[in-house]
Amino acid sequence: MDELLSVAEMYRADALTMAGGVPGPVLMEAAGAAVMRAVCERWAPHPTVVLCGPGNNGGDGFVIARLLLEAGWPVRLALLGSRSALRGDAAVAAGRWTGPVEAADPWLLEGNPLVIDALFGAGLARPLDGMAKEVVEAMAGRTVVAVDVPSGLHGDSGQVMGAAPQAALTVTFFRRKPGHLLLPGRILCGEVVVADIGIPDTVLDAIAPQTLVNGPDLWRQRYPWPRLDAHKYARGHAVVLGGARMTGAARLSARGALRAGAGLVTVACPPDSVPIYAAGSPSLIVTEVADGAAFEDLLADPRKNAVLLGPGAGVGADTRGHALAALAAGKACVLDADALTSFAASPADLLGRLNERCLLTPHEGEFARIFPDLAAVEGGKLMRARAAAARCGAVVLLKGADTVVAAPDGRGVVNANAPADLATAGSGDVLAGIALGLIAQGMDTFDAAGAAVWLHGEAATAFGPGLIAEDLPDALPGVLKRLKAGAR
């Protein structure tokens, strides 16, 4: 169940299932029953208000209310809109409800009942307003069970459209949507249950979804585990560009690359900084590069196959020149932090030289500097990353608590294992280093990006509270041991 379906793809899954002989009312009955079971598994019967909207999400609500009432729950049902205006499957479900139908209104939520939010599903077309918004805002502070998504949350982007409640539980159907994992949706959905309502997995063959939940099942078989007959050069020689002032960033990256398995890691730095880098890990090779020509000479060695530029490098012409030199040398490149910001005045100078062996790892601010016209594009984080990857021909890893990775061919993954502890200085430098180490070993760039993000999150979780960036590389061996053994 790694696939994430867009709203349009979920509509198609429903349509394909019905075309295959499963009537719409049967799917709706199954959806309502799934929500009812999830509710009964978590709460004892007590006063409940089922809020129904004017579409199929509201139809699910009618089923839920009927089944809860039959199970002995005290239930009130409220409808946003007119019962006579319901159409299709929703009208069928409403016809099976024999109790009263009240008008949806905030006052119904007085007395703190359990709230079943069946107002709007994932495909909401415009921001909530009027009575719909008032009812949604009245859910604040109450225990809410959302049907599909909390009302007001868009299923593709995870963004709030006007208002959305905080759910304790969200029950969705067949597959999750990106909005269940992208912020703020990941927070607002609470616990997410994916219910089987009779949609066959075979519909995925026709849909061919390109968005997946990031995890080992996607790339484990291609992970570059060391071979018994290999040697250090077979495991790649990674180069990290080290800056003169913020030396900790490059050192964190280099250690991440080592722990990820790169056979050799060289830090290339200004002559005056050599003692600082040399005093770090004895596993690192430290080489001075006095200028651009010296850096080009370093890259002339064909065994140095992957280069990380950016962490602590400094913003300016030197970093820009080093990045262009690495690209011109045909190296696999990871571009992060200062290497991206150095092109803020002329993004085309960088973007026009990238290829599928390159990985960009911006946070939102850096993304806006090199893709200024995409930063405000509607549709959410994943859509922006996809548009950026398609434009520049490189893999884009857009960082955050809901990191996404997008390939130029349209593939995308959403990461969901990052703990809050990762919000600490230097953690992004380690992430870039892990990706570098995997790419140096020959791992496909898109796979390497997904694996690096997941390993990064798992290492942070394994260490726990009190995490600082230096802890991440040393937590990796335990994570890798479990990964190699097949455990997650």
- 355 known member of a binding site: no
- 122 known member of a binding site: yes
Residues paired with residue 3 on neighbouring β-strands, in sequence order: 212
- 59 known member of a binding site: yes
Distance CA 309, CA 321 (A): 11
Q: In terms of Cα–Cα distance, which of 111, 79, 105, 108 is closest to 94?
A: 79
- 302 known member of a binding site: no
- 126 known member of a binding site: yes
- 130 known member of a binding site: no
- 435 known member of a binding site: no
- 125 known member of a binding site: yes
- 56 known member of a binding site: yes
In sequence order, what are the residues at sequence separation of 6 or more whose Cβ sits closer than 8 angstroms to the Cβ of residue 89? Answer: 24, 25, 27, 28, 56, 59
Task: Give the Cβ contact number of residue 100 at 10 Å.
Answer: 8
In sequence order, what are the residues at sequence separation of 6 or more whose Cβ sits closer than 8 angstroms to the Cβ of residue 129? Answer: 162
Task: Give the Cβ contact number of residue 221 at 10 Å.
Answer: 8
Distance CA 426, CA 248 (A): 8
The 3-state DSSP composition of the chain as helix, strand, coil percent (nearest 5) reads 45, 15, 40
- 162 known member of a binding site: no
Residue 26, classified by CB atoms within 10 Å of its CB into exposed (0-12), middle (13-18) or buried (19+), is middle
- 363 known member of a binding site: yes
The one-letter amino acid code at 306 reads A
- 249 known member of a binding site: yes
Task: Give the Cβ contact number of residue 233 at 10 Å.
Answer: 11
- 117 known member of a binding site: yes
Distance CA 38, CA 198 (A): 17
- 373 known member of a binding site: no
Eight-state DSSP code of residue 335: E
- 433 known member of a binding site: no
- 400 known member of a binding site: yes
- 127 known member of a binding site: yes
- 69 known member of a binding site: no
Q: In terms of Cα–Cα distance, which of 95, 123, 116 is closest to 14?
A: 123
- 349 known member of a binding site: no
- 99 known member of a binding site: no
Distance CA 265, CA 244 (A): 18
- 121 known member of a binding site: yes
Annotation: binding site for AMP: 399-403, 428
Annotation: binding site for (6S)-NADPHX: 56-60, 121-127, 148, 249, 312, 363, 429
Annotation: binding site for K(+): 57, 117, 151
Annotation: binding site: 56-60, 117, 121-127, 148, 151, 249, 312, 363, 399-403, 428-429
